Amino acid sequence: MGETSTSDRWMQILAAVTIGLVGWLCYRSIAHDAQIQATQYQISAIIATQTNVIPPVVESSLRELRDKTNSDRDMIARLTEIATGNSKDIGYLKERLPK
């Protein structure tokens, strides 16, 4: 067999390193995908257990809002008004709390 030149040897080393790097990246990608799927499964399980849980007070308040408003737009406007009032109350309470 003939001797390989130095540049050929470096090309072989570069190719081996590139193949190793691509293999490592594929492995990390597959491991990351599995981790994402496991997290999504956990989130879906949490959502599934909490989706149907509406406190009776909230349910009755929403029913009352539906009865008193003419459309979804009116109901959203009223809920926004309530949320704004609540945020002002929370801001006031935060200011009043001792640091």
Q: In this predicted structure, what is the pLDDT of residue 79?
A: 83
Cβ–Cβ under 8 Å, residues 78 and 69: yes
Q: How many domains does the chain have?
A: 2
- C-alpha pair distances (Å), 54 with each of 43, 44, 75: 18, 18, 18
Residue 19, SS3 per DSSP: helix
Q: Which helix (H) or strand (E) holds 77?
A: helix 72-96
Q: In this predicted structure, what is the pLDDT of residue 18?
A: 93
Is the pTM higher than 0.75? The answer reads no
Q: Based on the domain organization, do 2 and 33 belong to the same domain? A: yes
**Of the residues 53, 69, 91, the one at which a domain ends:** 53
Q: In this predicted structure, what is the pLDDT of residue 47?
A: 73
User: Which distant-in-sequence residues (6+ apart) come within 8 Å of 66 by Cβ?
Assistant: 75
pLDDT in tens, 22-56: 999 988 888 888 888 888 888 887 777 765 666 77
Domain range for residue 61?
54-99
